């Protein structure tokens, strides 16, 4: 059958969705709750297009074409609707994309990742990250005022992580080899959208103080999926800087749980698209409704889930520890 995508007549198969048809025809439609080959139901509303005849906005991932349909994928109205959907998702997304220390570092050191490896005990990798940012013989931290420590979230809980001291400690590990790799340097750029966690409530501070006991005391703010997050990519491409409606969420944040040895679930990053619900059998499920709706998994069901589900998750809510 024939439909018109942005005014251009296109031949489409009746059993492919408008999203699939438009993508084939080269129209760039973002989407979050859709994954090719997986069971999905429309929820994110980021893939909106407009039916030019009826003026209706449609989730393209779940709408099938009809003969002669005129689809608008790129008008201002469509763009604004998609942007609002993303802004709304971000307003319920209380999480840091990047660690604040990494953003702050004037030398481009990926401090968050370095502390991660340090706490894991992989000092070689930690040292390589260091070596990728600057020469180990001339550490710039000595002359730096340490903005990393000033923005450290742990600092708002009790005391900031001793980042400068840890950098020196790692640099001084003589028997450990270090190899500078450009990909290990901080990839943070101001062009990228970066979600911010905001400030902790007193109750949250108390919980974190009790529960986080890493070697460095680091809270590991950076998202495991920061380089592979559709929410972030789409927010960046829509040129969103800060969420228009502020950020407030009912989800427990920084409450990551290991579902399997490597699979980590962090509810505060979930956009409730349901891909993990629809694609596991007696695994993830919804709980509650409305704004308080969550994706949960009862402990008894952990064994019903495999790690490949992380690949379906469009955000860092389900990710594999690396």
Partner 1 sequence: MTMCSEDCLQKARQKEAAIQRADAIIERIGTTRDKIIPLLQALQEEFSYLPSDVLERVYLLTDIDRAQMMSVATFYSQFRLVPYGRHVIKVCNGTACHVKGADNVYDAFRRELSIEGDSVTTADGRYSVENVGCLGCCALAPAVQIDQKIYGHVQPGRVTEVLAEFEKEQQMTEQAAQQRQNRPPLGEVRLGMENCCQASGTAAIYEEVGRCCRDLDLNVTIKPVSCIGACNQVPMIDVAMPDGAIYRYPNVKVEDVQEILLNHFNTGSAVRRLRNRIFRSLDHLHNDSVWGSDVWKEPAERTRTINNFLTSQERVSTEGYGNMAPLNIEEYISCGGLEALRRALTGMTPGQVISEILDSGLRGRGGGGFPSGRKWSMVAAQENPVKYIICNGDEGDPGAFMDRILLESYPMRVIEGMIIAAYAVGASEGIFYIRAEYPQAVIRTRKALQMYRDMGFLGKGIMGSDFDFDIRVFEGAGAFVCGEETALINSIQGQRGFPSHRPPYPAVSGLHGCPTLINNVETLSQVPYIIRNTASRYAAIGTDSSKGTKVFALVGKVNHGGLIEVPMGTTLNQIIEDIGGGVEGGAALKAVQTGGPSGGCIPASLCDTPVDYEALKGLGAIMGSGGLVVLGEDSCMVDVARYFTTFTSGESCGKCTFCRVGIRRMLDILDRICTGKGKKKDLEDLEYLAESISKSALCGLGKTAPNPVLSTLKYFRDEYLEHFQGICRTGTCKDMVVYQVSQDCVGCTKCAKACPADAIRYTPYERHSIDTEKCTKCGLCIDECSYDAIKKVPIKTALQQ
Residue 61 or 170 with smaller CB distance to partner 1: 61
Residue 74 or 280 with smaller CB distance to partner 1: 280
211-250 footprint of partner 1 as x/- string (CB under 8 A): ---------------------------------xx--x--
Structure tokens at 311: 């690949």
How does DSSP assign 96-159, residue by residue? -SS-HHHHH-TT---HHHHHHHHHHT-HHHHHHHHHHHS-TTS-GGGGS--HHHHH-THHHHSS
- Residue 84 in contact with partner 1, rule: CB under 8 A: yes
Choose which of 38, 88, 136, 212 interacts with partner 1 (CB under 8 A). Answer: 88
247-266 footprint of partner 1 as x/- string (CB under 8 A): -x------------------
- Residue 65 in contact with partner 1, rule: CB under 8 A: no
DSSP H or E stretch at residue 91: helix 76-91
Residue 144 or 293 with smaller CB distance to partner 1: 293
Strands 2-5 and 70-72: parallel
| Residue 223 CA: distances (Å) to CA of 38, 268, 300 | 24, 11, 27
- Residue 43 in contact with partner 1, rule: CB under 8 A: yes
Distance between CA 7 and CA 31 in Å, rounded? 22
State in angstroms the smallest separation of the CB of 285 from partner 1.
4
Choose which of 23, 160, 269, 272 interacts with partner 1 (CB under 8 A). Answer: 272
123 closest CA partner among 186, 173, 164, 163 = 173
Distance between CA 48 and CA 187 in Å, rounded? 31
CB under 8 Å to 291, separation ≥6 — which residues? 92, 250
Question: Please, what sign has the CA dihedral across residues 279, 284, 288, 293?
Answer: negative
Choose which of 283, 309, 312, 318 interacts with partner 1 (CB under 8 A). Answer: 283
DSSP H or E stretch at residue 2: strand 2-5
SS3 content of the chain, % helix, strand, coil (to 5): 35, 10, 55
State in angstroms the smallest separation of the CB of 287 from partner 1.
4
Residue 81 or 236 with smaller CB distance to partner 1: 81
State in angstroms the smallest separation of the CB of 67 from partner 1.
14
Site stretch for partner 1 (CB under 8 A), options 18-26, 99-107, 162-170, 270-278: 270-278
State in angstroms the smallest separation of the CB of 288 from partner 1.
5
Residue 26 or 68 with smaller CB distance to partner 1: 68
Residues that bind partner 1 in the complex, under the rule CB under 8 A? 41-46, 48, 57, 59, 62-64, 80-81, 84-85, 88-89, 91-92, 244-245, 248, 271-272, 274, 277, 280-293, 296, 298, 300-301
């Amino acid at each position: 059958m024939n439909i018109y995508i942005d005014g251009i007549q296109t031949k489409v198969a009746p059993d492919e969705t408008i999203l699939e048809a438009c993508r084939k025809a080269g129209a760039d439609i973002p989407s979050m709750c859709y994954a090719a080959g997986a069971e999905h139901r429309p929820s994110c509303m980021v893939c909106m297009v407009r039916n030019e005849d009826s003026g209706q906005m449609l989730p393209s991932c779940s709408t099938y074409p009809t003969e002669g349909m005129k689809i608008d994928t790129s008008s201002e109205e469509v763009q604004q609707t998609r942007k609002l959907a993303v802004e709304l998702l971000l307003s319920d997304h209380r999480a840091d994309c990047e660690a604040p220390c990494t953003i702050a570092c004037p030398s481009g050191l990926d401090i968050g990742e370095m502390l991660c490896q340090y706490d894991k005990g992989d000092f070689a990798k930690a040292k390589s990250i260091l070596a990728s940012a600057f020469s180990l013989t001339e550490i710039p931290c000595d002359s730096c005022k340490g903005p990393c420590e000033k923005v450290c979230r742990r600092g708002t809980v009790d005391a900031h992580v001793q980042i400068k001291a840890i950098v020196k400690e790692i640099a001084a590990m003589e028997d450990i080899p270090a190899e500078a790799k450009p990909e290990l340097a901080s990839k943070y750029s101001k062009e990228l959208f970066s979600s911010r966690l905001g400030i902790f409530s007193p109750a949250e501070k108390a919980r974190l103080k009790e529960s986080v006991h890493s070697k460095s005391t680091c809270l590991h703010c950076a998202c495991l999926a920061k380089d592979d997050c559709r929410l972030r990519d789409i927010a960046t491409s829509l040129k969103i800087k800060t969420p228009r409606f502020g950020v407030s969420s009912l989800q427990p944040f920084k409450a990551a749980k290991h579902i399997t040895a490597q699979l980590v679930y962090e509810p505060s990053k979930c956009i409730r698209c349901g891909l993990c619900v629809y694609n596991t059998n007696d695994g993830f499920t919804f709980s509650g409704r409305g704004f308080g709706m969550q994706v949960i998994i009862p402990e008894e069901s952990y064994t019903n889930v495999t790690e490949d589900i992380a690949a379906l998750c469009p955000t860092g809510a389900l990710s594999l520890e690396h």
